[in-house]
Structure 1
Amino acid sequence: MSNLDTAKAMIAAYNAQDVDTYVSYMTDDACEANYRGDVVREGKEGTRSGLAAAFARWPQNHAEIVEAQAIGNYVLMREHVTRGPATDGSALVEPFDVIAVYSFEGDKCSRVEFIR
């Protein structure tokens, strides 16, 4: 599977709210972070628990791939994200676009950085 196909499979797992499949595409020490900034989910377990909490809060959460391309060991995706109503009664999050940079080591994703 190409890196682009792997990143697309990660989005499919994300949209299915299947955290186990999502993290199966990652290295053990992978992380999700703000672009050039703070790590927001560290390691497979941190990513698994962070996404599970997000999916519990926003059960209608969905990311649509608007554009995607692979460049070397990176995949760049422009994603349109809708959250839907939160289960905790917090204010509705307006839909937003994000650029996600997926970094790969071999056939596994080692880091995802978000530009928003």
Structure 2
Amino acid sequence: MARYNAADADGYVALMTDAAVEAGYRGAALREGREGVRSGLKKMFAEFPQNRAVVHARYAVGEYVVLYEEVFRSPETAPFEVISIYSFVGDKVDRVEFVR
């Protein structure tokens, strides 16, 4: 979460497999591959330079990590809640699904 909150897209994707995917829960991919995730994050960080997330709960089960987060885009907008489900292959994130 530190890399995300530091708007460090390169550091964030360094934790992912080459074929990593970010998607809606059980849905279509939003960003595909490290480069897709990197470019999507850089665009979002440029649009919302004050973006940050607060993790309220974290659960790890097998090759999955589930985070309950509150995301703050800017002081002018209301925060939103999200559950992020991280699937791992070895020590790298292979898929992230978001429940909003």
Which TM class, normalised by the smaller chain length?
over 0.9
Pair 1:38 & 2:28 matched: yes
Partner-residue secondary structure (3-state), 2:26 = coil
Pair 1:71 & 2:61 matched: yes
Shift of 1:93: 3.8
Q: Which structure carries more strand by proportion?
A: 2
Identify the match of residue 111 of structure 1 among 49, 72, 95.
95
Q: Which structure carries more helix by proportion?
A: 1
Rounded Cα–Cα distance in structure 1 between residues aligned with 2:30 and 2:86: 15
Shift of 1:69: 1.0
Pair 1:98 & 2:82 matched: yes
> What's the TM-score once normalised by structure 2's chain length?
0.97
- List runs of 5+ in structure 2 lacking aligned partners: none
Q: Which residue of 2 aligns with 1:54?
A: 44
* Cα deviation code 1:88-113 (max 9, x no counterpart): xxxx5420110000000000000000
- List runs of 5+ in structure 1 lacking aligned partners: 1-10, 86-91
What amino acid is the match of 1:97?
Answer: E
Rounded Cα–Cα distance in structure 2 between residues aligned with 1:49 and 1:23: 10
Rounded Cα–Cα distance in structure 2 between residues aligned with 1:46 and 1:65: 24
What amino acid is the match of 1:27?
Answer: T
Rounded Cα–Cα distance in structure 1 between residues aligned with 2:39 and 2:6: 16
> What's the TM-score once normalised by structure 1's chain length?
0.84
The alignment of Structure 1 onto Structure 2 pairs a total of residues equal to 100
Rounded Cα–Cα distance in structure 1 between residues aligned with 2:18 and 2:83: 23
